[in-house]
Structure 1
Amino acid sequence: MSKPQLQSAEVLAARHHARYPGETLAYRQARNALLAEEIELRRHIERVAAMRRALPTSGDVPENFRFDSADGPVTLAQMFGDHDTLVIYNWMFGPKRERPCPMCTCLLSALDGEMPDILQRVAFGVVARAPIERMQAFAQERHWEHLRLYSSGGSSFNQVYLGEDPGGDDIPGLNVFVRISDTIKHFYGDEMGPDTSDPGQDPRGAPDLMPLWNILDLTPAGRGTDWYPSLDYQAANPPHH
């Protein structure tokens, strides 16, 4: 069956009849031009997602890596639970760090709220090289309730799947694994970083997983260049009464 012919983004934008109080003709013309680009962006995102879904599975996982969890030792295979897909985020919280990465933590705080929904479809684990006790203590401090935390401190998982550089420093990343019968294969890894970033921009993926940046991208000032997430806002910004 052939795919339906899509109308041009410009036609769809011109058909849109939303109007806001007091808007000018110049605003509407600029907004419709932007709307057409947004439609094209949505279509491009879907094309990229389709290419990602169509990836052939990559290599077999070289070993059934072992991790520490709040409930004791667990293997990579056990992390799948009842699902055939496992997503793992590499949290930058290694032995060289007194505190975890604020950017990673910001993302994980958002994912904690989404986790009950995500876990309906796939298994999801957060892996770091810090001892599980330190991971749990920070999760309690951050009021995380749903993230599944695993310490990889006793395995080579981070080295094998690009979560640690040769010097032993943490690298953030996301990997997707699939279980086919009794075999676990690597399916996808986030490969966008400093070596693929554009001038004047922080390294970022596409689509960007952090809701924070997507919200700020909708505002006049955008992401800005003088602000990053913090691990603790209470000390710096006490509540007003």
Structure 2
Amino acid sequence: MPHDQIVQPGDLVPAAEMAARNTGRVLNESDEYRRARQALLAEEIELRRHIERVAELRRHLPPGGVVAKNYAFESEMGPVDFASLFGDHQTLVVYSYMYGPQRKRPCPMCTSMMSAWDGEARDVEQRVALAMIARSPIERLWAFKQERGWKALKLYSDVSGDFTRDYVSAEDADIPALNVFTRRDGVIRHFWGDEMGETADPGQDPRGAPDPMPLWTILDLTPEGRGTDWYPSLEYR
């Protein structure tokens, strides 16, 4: 269950001890499997706790930089400004995806994640606003939304590129970005961004933690893992 309760490490049962309490068994498993699974369970408990600690640190970041410009976008319903993307919320999550004017088709990776998010968007928007921004004209964004069957995602075109240059790439490069903004007492500030560009470990693509793509979370549960020579496609036959 979701919660924002602060838990001190000293208040927690050691992960190995908690794992040892597990009485679950799988049909026909060997003793060797159970020993390895119990050790893995302890690590999974530690991972869950670390994710919680990181989320707590994120929530307690000091105030970020003030957003000095009221950026202009094109929406499916016409022109909008940055402040209006918040709607009735005080927090705004913005995903900048790779579909610049130079692209014939949008990025398959961005598309895969957005397709998953489309199913969660109405749930997310019970608490925060959610906006998908790209540099292509709104007509192209809307057409692909219809092709993909997205129902809930709100798409916006950064026609001028001002927002993209300030919060994604100063060179207006066609790269993705995830940013969170807050509006408190009428002041809009940047809260958090995924600063993962130069942080990839050897043999891995740049990615944050936790990974916002459900696809990878599912594949990480399997013996095949993510693989090294496969990415999502825009269409399958």
Q: Normalization by structure 2: what TM-score?
A: 0.95
Is it true that 1:201 corresponds to 2:207 in the alignment?
A: no
What fraction of aligned residue pairs are identical, expressed as a percent? 59
Q: Residue 152 of structure 1 is aligned with which of 142, 152, 158?
A: 158
Partner residue, 1:187:
191
Q: Which runs of 4+ in 1 moved over 6 A?
A: none
Tell me, in whole angstroms, the C-alpha distance in 1 between the residues paired with 2:229 and 2:7: 49
How big is the shift at 1:155?
3.9
SS at match of 1:137: helix
Partner residue, 2:229:
226
What does 1:154-173 align with in structure 2 at a 5 Å threshold?
154-162=160-168, 164=169, 166=171, 168-173=172-177
How big is the shift at 1:165?
5.1
SS at match of 1:196: coil
Structure 1 residues 2 and 117, CA gap change in structure 2 (3 angstroms) = closer
Alignment check: 8 A CA contact 1:165 1:171 kept: no
- The aligned amino acid for 1:86 is L
Tell me, in whole angstroms, the C-alpha distance in 2 between the residues paired with 1:2 and 1:219: 31
How big is the shift at 1:154?
2.1
How big is the shift at 1:23?
0.2
Q: Deviations over 1:107-137 (max 9, x none)?
A: 0000000001001000000000000000000
Alignment check: 8 A CA contact 1:176 1:187 kept: yes
Structure 1 residues 39 and 2, CA gap change in structure 2 (3 angstroms) = closer
Return 5+ residue gaps in structure 2 as ranges.
1-5
Partner residue, 2:182:
178
Structure 1 residues 2 and 120, CA gap change in structure 2 (3 angstroms) = closer
SS at match of 1:33: helix
Tell me, in whole angstroms, the C-alpha distance in 2 between the residues paired with 1:88 and 1:5: 36
C-alpha RMSD of the superposition: 1.3
